[in-house]
Amino acid sequence: MARVFTIRVPATSANIGPGFDVVGLSLSLYLELTVTVPAPTAGADDDDDDAYEHPKITYSGEGADHVPLDAYKNLTTRVALYVLRCHDIPYFPSGLAIHCANAIPFGRGLGSSGAAVIAGVLLGDALGALALPRARLLDFALMVERHPDNVTAALVGGFVGSYLKELDDAAREAARVPLSEVLPEYPPDAGRDWGLAPPRPPLGIGHYVRFAWNPAIQALAIIPRFELSTARARDVLPREYSRKDLVFNLQRLAVLTTALGQSPPDPDLIYEAMKDRVHQPYRKSLIPGLPEVTSRITPATHPGLLGICLSGAGPTILALATGGFEAIAEDARTIFREQGVEIDWKVLHVVGGSVLEEKNL
């Protein structure tokens, strides 16, 4: 009998103001995979090139016109194959079929690549029947994504703080292997045996803690209709910061991680605690309207608003609020239109982490 299971991974917002590369939040938009593994055929051998059926991928939703459907080029399946090969399982099961239904916009600062990576790690774990502990799943994700904020939130869910452990010399070198060696680009003439021995991740790369979250707080995602790559958004950041700016962020992050779990939430405290001097000021040139939205929309002007910040690398702006969502969003639309930018908006909930569910046939 065929095996069918689903993998559901949430969108994420990283940084939440002062927590650059440190905190993340899982949100109610999802990448969902429906995976069908055919029942083994009597006498079939996955090592037999003539009989082997390569994976088939179908895709719907956000990014459907751009995502590679070749299992050796698609990010999720390449990550899955990396996990399998690190456990001496060289191939996908013959005849594997995967449908991806994606609601997470690409290049908008809502963790689309992090979701794809976590989906791949979970897919590899499930196909190989590996039963890896959560900490080890995170190690594999960090070998690909390299920043813990989005992938940790996508994996474990909620409001999460994370860091990369200081490793010994050997483990540090293993973790610094270039991404091109972890997930090599398969050349057009590559056979199934190409890239069989990837570098294994060291143990315990990432560590995290979940903070309390007041369930009355929801997240309004204000999504400009243009993409911004994380690489481009990082290129504008300075290599060094002043002590004053670092202390500014540390003070606010120390307050914010507790303030968002308190009841009732304090708008004045949270609004100030969500300010940032490490990344948002440098990205304003890439996101027309960012300074105006974050300064003109305040708890005083918009009752229900708690705080407002750039979501990840942007261009999405995240407003945390207990009400007044439409007024916040429509006033943000007006400000963005002054810059010639159109937006969409969604009210999202803070949700749990990734889920794998077996289907009974």
- Give the separation between CA 176 and CA 174, rounded to whole angstroms: 5
Band (190; pLDDT cuts 50, 70, 90): low
pLDDT at 339: 92
What amino acid is encoded at 16 in this protein? I
Closest CA to 75 of 46, 104, 53, 42: 104
Decide if pLDDT at 217 tops 70. Answer: yes
Decide if pLDDT at 191 tops 80. Answer: no
- Give the separation between CA 245 and CA 17, rounded to whole angstroms: 13
pLDDT at 198: 84
Closest CA to 63 of 17, 115, 28, 20: 115
pLDDT digits (tens, 9 = 90+) for 30-57: 999 999 999 887 655 556 667 889 899 9
Decide if pLDDT at 229 tops 90. Answer: no
pLDDT digits (tens, 9 = 90+) for 255-283: 999 999 999 999 999 999 999 999 999 99
| Packing angle of the helix pair 112-127, 134-145 (nearest 10 deg) | 130
pLDDT at 196: 74
pLDDT digits (tens, 9 = 90+) for 102-137: 999 999 999 999 999 999 999 999 999 999 999 999
pTM: 0.92
Closest CA to 293 of 221, 205, 235, 215: 221
Closest CA to 226 of 289, 279, 277, 276: 289
Distance of CA 310 to the CA centre of its chain: 15
Cβ-based neighbours of 235, under 8 Å, separated by 6 or more: none
Mean pLDDT of the chain: 91
Q: Is the peptide bond before 315 cis (omega within 30 degrees of 0)?
A: yes
